[in-house]
Amino acid sequence: MEQQEQQTQGQGLPRIGEQAPVFDAVTTHGNISLNDYSGQWLVLFSHPADFTPVCTSEFVAFQEVYGRLKEMNTELLGLSIDSVSSHIAWVRNIEENFQTTIEFPIIADLDQKVATQYGMVMPESTGTETSRRSLSLMTTKKSGP
């Protein structure tokens, strides 16, 4: 019964040691796949909506540490269910109002496929703001033989 409920509500957060769900997605930097990050760490994070004050401050903060993360072989990848055009307009707004250029891609997850794979969808939600704040840190390095 519990397993059936989880399938109805979407997939839960990936657990430590589990293989991260593979995805292909449209982003502000073109099409991206999880496989594009092979051999690196990846921080995949979601936000509920573009143009909100809290999400904007989070993006500015992520951009401020992005250079240090890259030095540690770590990439950032944002996600929301807003469109690429909305993301681009928001990124431009951040640049104009906060003098901060967002250099990492943002997934336009309109069908909520990636968000569902990573447990980022609020099961009880019926509106468009279904992506909850979530962060997944993963390595795409293979372990073992």
> Mind telling me the catalytic residues?
55
Q: What's the per-residue H, E or C state across 30-89?
A: EEEEHHHHCCCEEEEEECCCCCCHHHHHHHHHHHHHHHHHHHCCEEEEEEECCCHHHHHH
